[in-house]
Every structure is written in structure tokens, then in C-alpha cells.
Amino acid sequence: MGVASRDRDRRRNAALMWNAETVLALAPDPASAKAGRDLGTRRKWASLGVSHDTGAVVLWGACQGSGKDPYLTRVDPSEPAFKCSCPSRKFPCKHALGLFLLFVQTPAEFATGTPPDWVAEWVESRAARATKRVEREGRAAESPAAEDDAASVAKREKSARQAAARVAERERRVATGVAELSLWLRDLVRQGLSAAASRPMSSWETMAARLVDAQAPGAARLVRQLGTIPASGEGWPDRLLDRMARLHLLLEGYARLDQLSPELAADVRTGLGWTASQESLLELDGVRDQWGVVGRHVSEDDRLRVQRTWLWGRETRRGALVLHFAPAGVGRTDTKPIDPTLVPGTAFDGTLVFFPSAVPLRAIVKERTAAVAWTSDAGYASVADAMVATADADTRMPWIESHPVLLREAIPAAMTMPGQIRDSTGRSLPISHRFRDRWRLLAVSGGAAVPLFGEWDGEAITPLTVWGEGGAVSLS
Amino acid sequence: MTTLRADLAIWAATVNAALLGTDRTRLAVPSSEGTLGSASAMLVRDEADAAASLLRIASAASVYRRCGWIPKRSDEPPPAACPPDTRSLCPAAAGAMLRRILQGEHESLLATWLSLAARHGVRAPADTLCDLLELGRREPALRSTILAAGGTRATWLAAVNPDWSYASAGESVESLVATWETGTGPARLAALQQLRAMDAERARAMLESSWGQESPAERGGFVAALARGLSPADEPFLARALDDRRKEVRQGAAGLLARLPASELVARMTARAREHLSLGKTGLLKRVRIDVTLPAAADDALVRDGVEPKPPPGTGIGERAWWFGQIIAAVPPSTWTSAWSMEPVTLLRVAEGHEWREPLVAGWLSATERHRDAAWAEALWENERIARVGVGWRAPSPERVFTTVVPSEQVDVALRRSIGAGRDTLRSNHAVLNAILEWPHEWSDALARAVALRLQEHARDKMALAGEFGVRALLERCGHAVPVSAIGAFTDGWPEQSDVWPTWAPTIDALTSVLRFRNDLHLAFTEESVP
């Protein structure tokens, strides 16, 4: 896909993605959202402008604040990117939010014209940075179209050798880490899980840290999870052995990578911590469907905030997980969405590309063509149907940690902790002990059968979204 | 079935062996039957390392177990669903604004939202009910409107969450009586208050029927609940309460009886007052004169009728003057105007400069509020200089009496006229400013515009807002009192180029923000499409 067509897609996506709600979701805190709303009025702006001809849309405005000079505010809706001359340390600041909000609500207030210098400079500096980045990526990809003089050929060969050496070095380190972890796991079993449970948390952390050093962050995360199980209450020995066994299976899989199908081999490598490049995934053909956003959940984990967004394909009848990561910043509440444009309850006609896997779940959004309405007739008809589907996935890919479960008619029975999700046949799934929002779940369902989406971890379901008469309600 | 049980036994045996450790025990696979059994047997044979083979068997059994898990089936019927609500859901835009309010944006407009919902006969969205019920738990004043907006769903939820028991009574008389009979503490008081508003007679009868068993600590609150819907029919019960063992109950009952003009308590007080107060004429010009004889003692009968024997400490008020003021406070003020055929204004002028002006006026202020005498209230307001007494007298201020007793249309007109007439009427400590701050009603369009003009004039005349606490309070009040029709008068027309504007700007910005939000709120309830 060429740069120009990708830009066009981005612009079309931008128009689909931004409305008052998604713009305000960008606010770093509720006070900024409120201030942004108050500035989202024509009267606050001495001038407003928009330009469409520099390839991307750019908005600008001058806002009279309490100081002598007006603040100069610039917004590029495609990324989105913001710049303002105000001294606020909030990002985006209230002026940028107000300007953006005014644009999505009343675009006619913006005079189309040539950007003034202070806007043009910003656009150019961002374009220059983007070009540099593309060039860097281009060099990394060893484009054969580059000039062919002897010096550059030598340089290219050298950097190719270096890249290959890095790949080999990582394989070597991971193999060492895997061998060490395998021995460590077997030691735990030799000494007994009772003894393992009385180890301090730091002993699990130490092993996890060694795996991070061995460039196997996925395995490190699984070890850290193991450390939390002995304190997780009744049934911990079953849970601990189960997770250790899955980890052991992962290590054995790594030892036999060449005997596995390419998809399962990809799962093993993902499990240990390799990541596929999103850029190269975007080059692949995707799965076109009407994708409903059925669940969103933001958590903070080891200085990283992770947004898990679940989509559901109406025709393909499958779940898809889109992940977004951001550093765990200061001042941001940990439940604020990282990408606010995938709003639970909405849906779009578009294309997803799935990461290679024996049971592809993780995906990235390649294209959104149009917003569509989501109706509640998607998902499994019964708890039993949902469990047949998850069992089928487990047989093909034994390391799935959460399965998407969308039920068409679920009756939340959560008067007492922790409660269950029932269906009309009387079968039920237990609700996770960690679920905190059962009163809201009950309030929205009113004891009736309602559409519900949750993550199933093999033992319990964590409801993420319930649909009531007013539409989708996110649970926390 | 046997195979399944054998498979489960393999998992259990594996967990047990893992708990002890393979150094101390050997994993004996209990069965080699079935898929898992034969696989396990093979995995054990295949490996010399006992720990590794245990982990392998466990990983096979783990997948096997997960795939074979069957969701439990319950024959119990599901919990009773919520009965339907006949009213429709509020418009989506109104629901979105309620969520913003609940997240802390313009929190003070929650009451406005709830009353708009009641006016349009619509319900709050179900996902906001937990937050609303939680708020109602902390703020009893909001409860009735929250329950109205929450409808059957709120009542249904409250029935399963003990924290929200106050809301479980619902709105029918029967359910309120049931809560009174079986509920506890705050839920019972809430039921009494709610029933009192719906059927005052029935509520008092309900309270009377269980009065003997009520704990002394709660009786005070129950008596206070009768203030709403008070009528002569309540007198016998309140009269008996005058002999209660608890002081709050006695005083509460006396205070309520003093509001019933035909009560025996008021008759007794009127008889006493006539002993201490008479009209005389003085000098050659025969000027009217009020003769006051202060009571000599506070006997038991007087204290029983609610007179506090001790004046508030540190106020310098004498005991006898204190008793006298309280006696006058229980007598309908029309008693004096009709007995002496004099206008309230004339009486106030006579009282001006009187040795006992303060107890006299304090008594009249309280009495005017209790008996809701509009003629007196106007006179007290128009002569507020004479009618002002020290705070020690615990009398309502003339502006409070005026704004609570006189019909609101009249108050509105009077305030507008005063603001139009005097330049400094809205400056700090002016009586007109105090009255407008005291008055809880929404203003008329004309009054709001008069306030806006006067304030904008101050801003143009370079009055710095710093230090003007009264004006700041007024600007805050504007956010709730200005009618939607007059919002434009406050959002525009400010002298933004003025030198003193920076002292005004933050407050005016905050006001504009509240007013815009309120405007959107009104639109949200009337039309579907609001950005």
C-alpha cells in the first residue's frame, strides 16, 4: 500500500472516528474535559481556520485567555496531534480540546484558507519528522531500490549482517532462558507446590527478571502471574499446577518449533514474548466484516497501561482483540481509554488483520469504511454453545488466557457475591471474584435476559459490557 | 461416565503429587483407561525425569479438563425480574448529561436534572441508578426525587442491596406502612416522611399507633417529620407530646403547635401576651404608646408550652426579655393589628426606639414566619431598619420572613423594583442582596435581566470583584436562579476590555459554564438532537 493511499484511509478513518464524545475522551482528566467543553464555543475564539490542501486536515484558532496575547492552538485530527502556545502542562490542553470539539460540532465556523505561518511551520516540522522516520524505516528494510554505489552496498550488507546477528543473539538468549525456566519449574515440582507457595514473592520476581534479561518478556509475565496464585484463595493448587503445566507446554513447544504448524509455532513465539510487526501485518489481506465493539477494559500492569478492546464480527461470528499500550503516566486515571475511538456499543464496516495463530484472536484495525449500527442478535444463543466454542479453541491452541464470550440472552443472577450469568436453559457461568460492578450489571439487566459480553478465563467470566434499553453499558 | 470419573481422578492425583513434590512421592496414574489415561501412562514411561513427566501429564490433563468442563445447570427459577415501568426512558442526550453530572461536572445541577425528569415524566437510565441511590443515601433531601426518577428499577435494586434500604419502600402507601412496621432506623423515618407528604392523616395515625414503643432517641425526628402537612387534626397528638420525657420531643411539639392558630397552646400564649402587652396613649398629642410588662417568672406551665428558660449565653439578653420575646413569637401577629385596629407599619413605627423593641420585633418576626402573615411580612421588609434584631434573639431576618411568607410573584416584583431603584442594592450587605440570596425560587425573566444590568453596570464602573463577597455569592446563585429565557443576558454584554475585568473573568466564566449547561439540559429534555 502506497503512502498516499494510506493517508487517504487515515483521513477517512479520522472523519469516522471523531465526535464530541471521542474528542472529550482524549482529555487527560475530567477538569480538562469540562474546560475544553467551555472553550468549545465560537465566542471564545478570535479566529478559526481549517486547511485541507497540505495533504492532511489541519485546524487552528486563536483563543483569548487571561493573558495579553491570545493562545495559538493547532490540531491535526488524523493522528490526532496537538500544539498550543499556552503554558499548560496538560496534554492535550483545554484550548486544543475546545478547538477540536468546536470543529466536530460546527465545522462551518472554520474558514477554509491558507494556514498562517505559525500553523504552516508546525505542519512542516511534523512532516519533516515523519519523512525522517520513513527514511529510517526504509533503510532498515534494506530497500533494493536505493542507490547502488559500492560504499552503500557495503554499508547495507554490514547492517544486514548486524540485524541477522541481533536476531541470532536473541534466539540464543531466549533458548538459555527457556532452559533455565524449565529447570526451575521442574525444581518447584520436585520440592512440592506447598513449599513453592511459601516462597516470598521476590523469588518469583527474580525468575521473571531473569527472563526479561533473556528477552522473553512473555514468559516473564507468566511467571509473575504464577507468583500471585498461592494467595488467590480456595483451589489455588489446581490453578497453580494448571498454569505451570501450560507454561511447561510452552517451553516444550519451543524445543520442537520445527515440528509445529506455522500458526502454532507463531503462538509459541508470541507466548514467549516475540511480537509481530504491525506495519508488516497491515500489508496482509484482512477479514472484512461488520465489527461491533463489544468490550473495552483498561488496566495498569508493570508501568504499562494496556487497553483491551474486544470486537465481534457479525458475519464471521468471531471475536477479535485489539490491544493498545501506553506508559503508565502520572495524573491519568488508569481506566481512561488509550484509544478512545473504539467505543463499546458502536460498530463499523471494516477490515481487521489477525496476528498469525492457530486460533487467531489478536488483531489490528486495518480500515474502517463506515460506521454501522450494532444490533443485539450477534453472539451465542446459550452458555452451552459458548462453552463448545471455547473448548474447540482450547483444543487447537492451549494457551488462550481469555476467551471472548458474547451471549445474546444472559440473565445476571448476582444478588449475592459473586453470582452467575445464567441462560434460559438454567445453565450458568460463575462470575469472577474480581468483578466489582455487579450492582450496575443488575441495574441495567433488571433481572431480565440481556445481551452480555465477558472474558472467560476457563473458570469464571468477567463481564465487560451489558446492553440495556439505552444501549451498551461498560462495566468495570 | 466411568471414563470421565477416571479422568478427573488423574487430575486430582497429579495435583496431590505436585503439592507434596516428586522428591517425596511418586505420581501413580490411577487409570490407564480412556484417552487421557493411556496418554498419561505413555508420558510417564517416556520420561526418566519424574517432575517433567508430572508437568507433561498435568498439561495434557489441563487442556482435557478445560475442554470437558460442563456449565452447571440449576433447576431453581432465576431471581424475580423487575416489574416494568410505565414511564418512558429520558432522551439519550438527557441521560448523557446526567452521567456528566454524576462524574462531577456541575454537580449542583443534579436537583435540576431530577426535577426536569419529573416534569417531563421520564425515567433516569438504568446504568446511573447505582450512583443515584448512593447519593440518596448520603443526602436525604434528594431521596424523593431520586426515587421518582429511578422508578420501579430503583426500588427493585434497593430491595437486594441493604445499603439502599431507604429506597426499598417504593411509593405505594401499603409498602410505606410495611416499611414502617418491619424496617429499621433511617428507612422508617424516610417512610414516615414520604407517607406524610402523600397522606398526612394516615402518617400521623401510623406514628401514633406505635408511639409507645418508639425509642426516645428517634421520637424527636418523628415529631419533626409532622411539620410537613401540619393541620389542626394533629393537635391532640402534639399536645400529649408536650409531656414527653425527652426535651427535643417537647420542644418540637410546642414549635408545631405554635404554628396552629386555633391550638390551645396559641390561645394560652395569646392570653399571656395580652397580660404583658397593651396599648396606651401618651402626652398632650395622645400619641400611641406600647406598654410592656415583662413576665416575672418562667413557671412550669410556660416552659411546658415551649419557652426556653435560659437566654443564649454571651448575648447580654436578659431572662425576662427573652421569655417575653418567645411568648410574642407564638401569637399570630394579626392578633395585634385587629385588636388595636392598626396597620402593621404603624405598630412597627411605634415600636421604633422602644425600650423593648428587640424582644418585641424578634417575636413578631418569628410569629409572622410561623403564621405566614403576608401583610406583616411586607411591613417588616419595608421597615427592615426597625425590624432588624441581634442574632442572639434567634429570629429570622426580615428578608427571610419576606421571601418565605409573601407569594413568590410579589417577591419577584418587589425585588425587581428595589434593584431598579437603588444603585448599590446588589453590593455586599445590602438588604436587597440578602433577600435575593435568601429567596430559593427561580427568578422571573424580568428580575434576571434587572440583576444582569445592575451587575454589568458595576463591572463597567470599574468595581473590582475582589472582596465583593456578596456579589460573588449572587453570581453563584445566578447559575441556578436565572430562567433559561434570560441566559443570554448573563453570557453576553460584559465589559471584557475593562481594567477590572480580570477580577471578574473567572467568576463570569464559571457562571457562563453553568448557564450553558442548564440551557443544554432544558433542550436535552425537549428535543432528541443536542450535540
- Work out the minimum CA distance from A446 to partner chain B, whole angstroms: 5
The contacts of residue A225 (CB under 8 Å, 6+ apart) are: A243
Contact A458 B69 (CB under 8 A): yes
Residues in B closer than 8 angstroms to A41, CB to CB, are: 516
Chain B interface disruption, residue of A182, A183, A189, A417, most B CBs within 10 A:
A189
Name the grid cell of A98. 475546545
**What's residue B337's pLDDT?**
92
Q: What percent of chain B has pLDDT over 70?
A: 97
Least confident of B190-194, B247-251, B465-469: B465-469
Name the grid cell of A402. 481469555
pLDDT tens readout for residues B379-414: 999 999 999 999 999 999 999 999 999 999 999 999
Quick one: average pLDDT of B293-298? 92
Residue B2 has pLDDT above 70, yes or no: no
Q: pTM here?
A: 0.79
Which residue in B has a C-alpha nearest to residue A66's C-alpha? B502
What is the spatial distance between Cα A211 and Cα B284, in angstroms, rounded to a whole number?
112
Contact B15 A473 (CB under 8 A): no
CB pairs under 8 A between A and B: 162
Residues in B closer than 8 angstroms to A426, CB to CB, are: 73-76
**What's residue B250's pLDDT?**
94
Q: Which of residues 500-519 of B touch A (CB under 8 A)?
A: 502, 505-506, 509, 512-513, 516
Q: Which of residues 23-62 of B touch A (CB under 8 A)?
A: 23-24, 49-52, 54-56, 58-59, 61-62
Contact A458 B63 (CB under 8 A): no
What is the spatial distance between Cα A270 and Cα A262, in angstroms, rounded to a whole number?
12
pLDDT tens readout for residues B344-375: 999 999 999 899 999 999 999 999 999 999 99
Peptide bond into B531 cis (omega under 30): no
**What's residue B529's pLDDT?**
43
Contact B70 A237 (CB under 8 A): no
- What's the ipTM? 0.82
Contact A193 B49 (CB under 8 A): no
- Work out the minimum CA distance from A12 to partner chain B, whole angstroms: 22
Maximum distance among all alpha carbons in chain A?
76
pLDDT tens readout for residues A218-268: 999 999 999 999 988 888 999 999 999 999 999 999 999 999 999 999 999
Residues in A closer than 8 angstroms to B70, CB to CB, are: 387
Which residue in B has a C-alpha nearest to residue A191's C-alpha? B21
pLDDT bracket for residue B79 (50, 70, 90) = confident
Q: Does B73 touch chain A (CB under 8 A)?
A: yes
Residue B112 has pLDDT above 50, yes or no: yes
pLDDT bracket for residue B530 (50, 70, 90) = very low
